[in-house]
Every structure is written in structure tokens, then in C-alpha cells.
Structure 1
Amino acid sequence: IGKRINYDGNLGIVLYEGPVTNSKVIWLGVQWDDPSRGKHSGEYKGVKYFTPTIENSASFVKKESPLLMVGQSFQEALIKKYIIKEEKDKNSEPIVWGKVVETIGFEKIDKKQSHLNELIEVGLDLQNIEKAFAENETKGKIKEICPSIEELNLSENLFTQWDDVFDILNELEHLNVLFLNKNKINPTSIKNIIRNNNAKFESIKTLSLNKSIEEWETVSNLEPYFPKLENISLGFNNLNNLFPLLQPNQFSTLKSINFEYNEFDSWNVIENTLGKLPSLEILKIDYNKIKSIKYSPGTFEKLDTLNLNNNDIDNWETIIELDKFPSLQKLRLSRNPLGDTVEPATNFRIFVIAQISKLIQFNGSSISKSDRYDCERYYINHAFQEKQKKDWSDEEFALKHPKFKELQNYHDIILTKKENKVQTLETSLITVQISCPQRTKKIAKKKLPPDTTILTLKGIIQRL
């Protein structure tokens, strides 16, 4: 009980072992990592045998099933994949419950050892690894036979304790990138490190824990063990808060955080915990539920890249606030409700670029100087027309378009109202029809200022 298993490619944790009703067969009650595979909540014919943490995420499997595999050591997995598999060894059998695996002795692979010495990138995902060493394996042997590993993928394995993961990391002094995606390690185990309590994995710069943690506290507790971490990925973890708050100097070297596919709905939650990180440059919060952003002075001072695709942002005030971020140059805002408020849709890009002065890239597309020039002048014209149409006072207009005056002065544009008609750039725009008969019968119409250059026109055509 408490072991993680692999049953025909499906991972889960054993919560019950024993008979079911009067059967002589020994059954295992398993809660699956993928809840949709479950058939019940630990009961059979009215009798409750165990209780999974997620309703209807469990089922029974026979303990002696040939489809059932339990954990092996890192050394066993490494040799099976990089030595035995290459030689097509017929003795590499699957590990079944209760069967002691005959470890392949390292003395038998001297001829292949140079190959392991050269390994830099190692992929041991889905290899049923649960620990570093088997009972008859020697500590320090991993370091001896594969000392050069820089990137290691241990995703979708059978770890239950952080100490077991740390045993492996202690052997790999040059490890730079570590993937631990889709592992279900007991979150309380990080508070009870015994063998590696004083460990510091300073070589590791990138850590991926997608679909692996249940709460931010686990990440906070991991920080002392990864003091030089620069990149962390925490996608698909259903996170909606970042408590506890970080202590001073925690994650001081962190440059990039990925929070894609979580449940954040408040920018304040993000800012309160991460806003003071001194090195943070990249923040990815795609596929969350953020509705608005308000900038607080002194936060996110080095943030260069912000991804907000597929959120719930529906207000232009957020764009105004994003202009206040001191270092923001790259922004993604695709598939937010705000984009649906602008017609034609191409104006969305124009208005965002015009109002965030430091952007050099928007939604993955670079912004040239001529792009910015055209967007800002178009925005000036649009904003002025909107003021006349809605009859805003100067104070109301300044609140809605705080960037307008700065841009008007920069471009040295004078806009006046005469004879009840707004005299603006619109009166001097030239309508251009663009078509490509070889590819489509559609004709695009664009209104351009008379001083539009050929280079700018080419850029407009490329974006169609």
C-alpha cells in the first residue's frame, strides 16, 4: 500500500491490497493518475475497501496480472534502455509485482561503459523508476558510469518520495536541465528529507514540474535545494494561489516562470508573490482566468516577456497598465475577450502597439519602426474621432486615452474641429485595394496616409 504502479501504461497509487468479497484472488485497489480511468470510489457490492482522494477515480486490478509493473531503480532503467535495448537482450523482461529483478551487474558492461560516459541528454521517462539504487547496487556508481549527463527526463515515473529523486541528483554533478513532469510525489515528503537534507543542486538551472504538484507550498519548499534555478515550468497543476509568499532572497536567480493551464483569476495573486523577484524576465500565464492587470510601482522591474493568451481580459485599462511595466517588450494577448471589442479585428494590434510604447514584439510578430509609426498615427486619429463622437470632456478623454497627448506631441499632429465636421487624418487617407487573383478572389481595402512608403505597404500586404 502506498506504492505507485504501472498497469498497461496507466499510472496510479495502491490504496488497498487484499481479497474482495469471498474471492481467493488478491486484488489491488488503485487510484489512477487519470481520474477518467476510474470506475468507482473504492467500493464493491456495497462494501467500502478504500477511499480515493478523487471520486470515481479508482478500480481493482489483480495483483498477479502480467500487465502490472512496479518500480525499478535508476540504474536498472538506464542499463535496460541504453545497453540491453541496443543489444536486443532477450532477458530484459518486464518487472511484475513481487518479483525481484536480477540487476545487470556493471562488471558485465565494461565494453559499453565508454558509451554511457558520453551520454549528455538522457530520456528515462515512462521507465517505472521509483528510486536511485536497488538493494544490491552501489551508491556512487551512477556518477562513475555516466558523469556527463546535462539534461535528464524523469517524467511519468513512479517516485513517491523527494529523497529518492534527490539520491539521483546527488550523483549528477553536471546536470543542468531536469524534467519531472507527470510525477505524483507525496507533497509532505519534501518536509521530511532525511538522506539529502543538506543537498544543494547548484548545477540545475531548469526544472519542469508540469502536472506534478498540488500546491505552491511544495515549490517554495523545494527552493533551498535548487539555489541557482533560472527556469521553472509549473503548467497543468490547477494552481489558483501562491501561498505562502516567498521569503527575501528565495528564487533570486529565477528568470522564467511558466504557469500555463492553471486556474489563476487574479493578477494580485501573481504580483504579491512574484512581483519582487529581482531576476524575473519571462512570465507565461497562458490559459488561465486573469481578467485585468493593475501595475504597482516597484514590481516586475526586469520583466521583458509576458504571455497572456487565452485569459479573460476584456478591458483597455489593462493595456494602459501594461504600458507602465518598465521593461516589457514582448507581449502575447491572443484569444482574450478584449480582442473581440474592436472592428475590424486588425485594429486590435494597432491600438495595443500604439499604447504600449516599449513593445518590440506582439503576439509573436516583430514591430518595426515603420509599424510603430503607422500604428501610433492611426491611433491618434481614431482616438480623436472617438472623443468627438462621444462628446467627452478633456478630463474624460485623458482617462480613456492617457497615451494620446504624448503621441500627439511626439508626432506633432494638430487636430481641429471645423464646420461641425472633424478635420482629422481621416480626410487625407487614401483608399487602396489589395488583391491576389492567383490565391483568392477577395479584395482587401485599406485606408493609408499619403506618405505611406513602399516598405510599409509591403509589410501591410504580408500581414493580410
Structure 2
Amino acid sequence: VSSCHKQDIQQIKGRIWLGVEWDDPQRGKHDGTYEGTQYFKCRHPRGGSFIRPNKANFGVDFLAAVKDRYGLNDEQDVQRGTENTLVFGKTVEFVGMDSIAEQQSQLNQLVDISVRECAVSHAGQKEEISRTCANIRHINLSRNLISSWETVTAIASQIQNLETLNVSENKMKFPSTSTSVSGVFSKLRILALNQTEIMWTEVLFCAPGWPALEELYLTSNNITVLERPDNVLQTLKLLDLSDNQLLDGNQLHLIAHLPRLEQLILRNTGISSIHFPDAGFGCKTKMFPSLKRLAINDNKISQWSSINELDKLPSLQSLQCHNNPFMDTEKNPETLRQLIIAKIGQLKVLNKSEILPAERKGAELDYRKIFGSDWLAAGGNWNPEKNKPSEEFLAAHPRYLSLCLKYGAPEEGELKGRQPLTLKNQLLSKRTEMVKRVPSSMTIQRVKGLLYRLLKIPGSELKLSYESSKVS
């Protein structure tokens, strides 16, 4: 079943036709023009059609859809008493049908209702929903025939404790001016408006009516431009803008001061860079103060500098960043993961995989060694008074100095470049046994440095083991 919206009623060549625009433009044939006359306008140049009125389904009211979905409509109720059936020529009475119908008909006990794809188009008689379904808290109204936010409000106004509402996949008209604050959505915490063609300005017009909203889903709405949400959406904890082609990463600055925003989902939004200009190297930005989880999968981020910028976020703990061009710069997925971990100091989860303390330590130590030669070439020095690497180096490696403070500057024997993963570099050659005495106070890192000088094998490629001479 395909859905569309009525645009016009016309008499063409003596017959009545409905001019409609399909939600799926591929179902259409034209833009509302027939034989040179434009009868209505479409958003898509081939999204319109004319259909006969008897072929159209104009939908049902909300309560009728609920009764039908949960097997409680009036026609079925009549048939749900005691049933008599012939079995082998004898009449057999099936009892219990009344009790089943009675149990199912307790509409006022329903809390979580889904009427997805039930052709709901209007609210129905006033107060009928509140009299019949007083305890609803969660509603799925997605993929119906709702054409305006006004209809959604008419349904919600009869549900006092509504907490979750999904009206995705309904092409709707939304208020074009700021709406007056009412108590209709006073308890609403989760709202899904995916594929509804809502614009960000319309979100802001409606937002004063969502004073307790915590999660807002706005995927696939052709949103390109954002505006600062002044005095609205201040309770928001999750915002999903996936599959909207934002003009650029600077659009994020306009929503960067939502005080409680903990999760931001930006999959396939077309952004190519992320930048927080209010904070310098090694400093934290004032933007997104509460952001813990960020998803930037399937974008156009090509420079590692955007990953460096994410270290400026004061609360970031989880990052998803698959399918971005910058990831193609490193062929080894393990090395790629290490680089991201080392660049974002407070990260605890990367691409849905937990970062354990040992993995972080290893990543940071390797990062310190891999770029040690670059650090020296840029003006770095083991003498703290002379350690003044260039601004260019600090821009490329903002955490490098802090890693040196954490683990100590890399010794000359630890410095290494990135080695290609060729078979030659993975082969072990036969070596004679070597015995060396070392003080018990020597750290593992210094042992690795010593072994490098003796064996010319980078510390990251060594496998050390210790066997005590004392037998317990």
C-alpha cells in the first residue's frame, strides 16, 4: 500500500479526479500538470498523479485503528460470545470466548500502543480517546495518513501521560510560526519525526510545547541549515540528525550550547570537518559541555585534524566514525584504532568496542614512539628547557607533549617509523643466546630500549617474559 496526499479535486473531461502527490515520487507521473494545464503543484517534478475517488483510502480515526489492531472492534466483539460449532454431527459449545473478549476489550489498560501502517488520518470524536484509553504512555503512529501536526496534537491532547511518540513517515505540514505553549506534550520525553519533511525552523516553532523532551529523532528530513535553539530544547539529551545533508560542520556550532545534550548522531550528514575554534591545543572547548556519545559514521571527514578536535570535547566517552576518508590513510585497522585512541584521551568506547586500560596505554606508548622522530625534527628535545616543537607539529599532534609528560620522552632507541606489514618485517631470524645483567629498578620501557640497541628490534615488536629463580 502506497500513501499519498490529496492536493486537488478536479473535473477533467467530464469525470471527477483526485490530484495527489505520492510520498514515494516514483509512483507519480507528473508535477500536477495535465495537457498543458497545471491543476496542482508538487515538491517533486514527477511526484503527482490523478486517481479516481473510489480508489482512494481516506483513512480512519485513531481509536478505530487501535480497536482493529488489537482485535477489539465492535463487529468482532459481537462474535466473541459463546460459539456453537458442529463436530462430527453434534453441536459443541466453545466456552470462554466472552472472557477473552472482555480481557482484550480493556482498552483503558493499554499503555504501549502501535498502530503503524493502520491508515490513521484523524483523531476522531472529541474526548473519545481520553474516555477509552486513559492510560496510554507510548504511541507508534508511524507510516500512516496523517497530514498535519495539528492532527497529532488533537490525538495527544486526549492522552494525559504521553511519554513516547513516533509519527515518522507521515508527510506533514507543521506550524510556520511559533506555537503557543500548552500542556498537550508536557510529559513527552521521546519524539520521532523521521521522514516527515519537517525543517529545523519548524522544529524550533514547535519546541516550546515540548518542555520535558529528552530524545528527538529527525532523520531523513532534508535539513540543511540549523539555527540556535534559544530557550527551547534545553532538556534534550539525544539528538539524531542522520541522513540530513548539512551544509558544513560549522552548522554544529549552532546547537553546541544545548546544556544537557549527551548523545549526538550525525550519520551520513555530509560533514567534511569538525572544528572548535574557541579552544587551542590541549584545551577543552565550551561547546557541547555534556556530550558523551558521538556518531559521525558515513561522512566526508578526510583530515586527522578533525579527530584531534574531538579531544577538545570535555565529556566525550564514545565515538563511532566508520566510513570516513581519513580512515583510508592507514591500511592496518589495528594501527588505525590505536591512532584514534591516542588522539582522544578520555575515549572509553570506539566503534562500539570498549577501550581497556591496557589497550590505551599501548596505543599511547606506540604513538609516542611512532612520531618521536617527527617531534625531534620539529624542535623537540629531551631537555625540557629546549623542548619547543613547532606550531605545525603541535597542530598535527596536540596530545604529544602530554603523552611525554605521562610516560616520559621517548629514548633514542625507542624511536621508530611506521613499518610496512611485509613478510620480511615479520620473520624471526636465528640469534645466539645473550646474557645481560640489569638492575632490579630498571623499568620495562628501559629494558625495551636496551634490547633495541642490542637487537635493533623496536620495542612494540618485542615479546618479553619473566621467570623467577625463586621456587615457591
Alpha carbons 2:291, 2:315 under 8 Å: kept? yes
Corresponding residue number in structure 1 for 2:299: 311
Cα 1:184–1:452 shift into 2, 3 Å: farther
* 1:90 shift after superposition: 11
Corresponding residue number in structure 2 for 1:6: none
Q: Please say if 1:212 is aligned against 2:203.
A: no
Corresponding residue number in structure 2 for 1:355: 343
**Taking every aligned residue pair, what percent have the same amino acid on both sides?**
29
- Equivalent residue runs for 1:219-234 within 5 Å: 219-234=203-218
The answer to which of 25-34 and 139-148 deviates more is 139-148
Q: After superposition, give the CA deviation of every residue in 1:417-458 in whole Å (9 maximum; x if it has no partner).
A: xxxxx752679xxx8789xxxxxxxxxxx984546689xxxx
* 1:188 shift after superposition: 3.5
The residue type equivalent to 2:115 in the other structure is L
Corresponding residue number in structure 2 for 1:439: none
The residue type equivalent to 1:412 in the other structure is G
Alpha carbons 2:71, 2:104 under 8 Å: kept? no
Q: After superposition, give the CA deviation of every residue in 1:166-219 in whole Å (9 maximum; x if it has no partner).
A: 1211221222110010112212377577xxx63342221000000113311111
- Equivalent residue runs for 1:395-434 within 5 Å: 395=390, 396-416=392-412, 424=415
Alpha carbons 1:123, 1:152 under 8 Å: kept? yes
* 1:119 shift after superposition: 1.4
The alignment partner of 2:71 has SS state of: helix
Alpha carbons 1:161, 1:189 under 8 Å: kept? no
Alpha carbons 1:163, 1:189 under 8 Å: kept? no
The residue type equivalent to 2:290 in the other structure is K
Q: After superposition, give the CA deviation of every residue in 1:361-398 in whole Å (9 maximum; x if it has no partner).
A: 0011100000001111111111124456xx44431323
Corresponding residue number in structure 1 for 2:171: 184
Corresponding residue number in structure 2 for 1:461: none
The residue type equivalent to 1:16 in the other structure is D
Query: TM-score by structure 2 length?
Result: 0.77
Cα 1:129–1:381 shift into 2, 3 Å: same
The alignment partner of 1:402 has SS state of: coil
* 1:50 shift after superposition: 2.3
* 1:231 shift after superposition: 0.2
Q: Please say if 1:384 is aligned against 2:372.
A: yes
The alignment partner of 1:407 has SS state of: helix
Alpha carbons 2:142, 2:168 under 8 Å: kept? yes
Q: Please say if 1:292 is aligned against 2:273.
A: yes
Alpha carbons 1:432, 1:448 under 8 Å: kept? no
Hey, what's the Cα distance between the residues in 1 that align with 2:74 and 2:328? 55
Q: Please say if 1:164 is aligned against 2:164.
A: no
Alpha carbons 1:162, 1:190 under 8 Å: kept? no
Hey, what's the Cα distance between the residues in 2 that align with 1:311 and 1:410? 33
- From 315, 322, 336, the counterpart of 1:334: 322
The alignment partner of 2:8 has SS state of: strand
The alignment partner of 2:393 has SS state of: helix
The residue type equivalent to 1:80 in the other structure is D
The residue type equivalent to 2:347 in the other structure is L
Cα 1:279–1:225 shift into 2, 3 Å: same
Hey, what's the Cα distance between the residues in 2 that align with 1:90 and 1:19? 42
Cα 1:367–1:326 shift into 2, 3 Å: same
The residue type equivalent to 2:398 in the other structure is P
Q: Please say if 1:143 is aligned against 2:130.
A: yes
Corresponding residue number in structure 2 for 1:116: 107
Alpha carbons 1:162, 1:189 under 8 Å: kept? no
- From 16, 30, 38, the counterpart of 1:40: 30
Corresponding residue number in structure 1 for 2:40: 50
Alpha carbons 2:111, 2:138 under 8 Å: kept? yes
Hey, what's the Cα distance between the residues in 1 that align with 2:262 and 2:326? 25
The residue type equivalent to 2:286 in the other structure is G
- The number of equivalent residue pairs is 396
Corresponding residue number in structure 2 for 1:437: none
Corresponding residue number in structure 1 for 2:8: 16
Cα 1:190–1:266 shift into 2, 3 Å: same
Corresponding residue number in structure 2 for 1:78: 66
Alpha carbons 1:129, 1:157 under 8 Å: kept? yes
Alpha carbons 1:154, 1:178 under 8 Å: kept? yes
Alpha carbons 1:200, 1:224 under 8 Å: kept? no
Hey, what's the Cα distance between the residues in 2 that align with 1:165 and 1:433? 68
The residue type equivalent to 1:424 in the other structure is L
Corresponding residue number in structure 1 for 2:229: 246
Corresponding residue number in structure 2 for 1:275: 256
Gaps of 5+ in 2: 80-99, 279-284, 380-388, 419-424, 429-457, 467-472
The alignment partner of 1:167 has SS state of: helix
Q: Please say if 1:203 is aligned against 2:187.
A: yes
The alignment partner of 2:403 has SS state of: helix
- From 213, 220, 223, the counterpart of 1:236: 220
* 1:278 shift after superposition: 0.9
* 1:130 shift after superposition: 2.0
Corresponding residue number in structure 2 for 1:442: none
* 1:142 shift after superposition: 1.6
Alpha carbons 1:256, 1:283 under 8 Å: kept? yes
Hey, what's the Cα distance between the residues in 2 that align with 1:275 and 1:191? 22
Query: TM-score by structure 1 length?
Result: 0.78
Q: Please say if 1:263 is aligned against 2:245.
A: yes
The alignment partner of 1:83 has SS state of: coil
Q: After superposition, give the CA deviation of every residue in 1:27-53 in whole Å (9 maximum; x if it has no partner).
A: 111111111211112223333332222
Alpha carbons 2:156, 2:184 under 8 Å: kept? no
Hey, what's the Cα distance between the residues in 1 that align with 2:459 and 2:302? 27
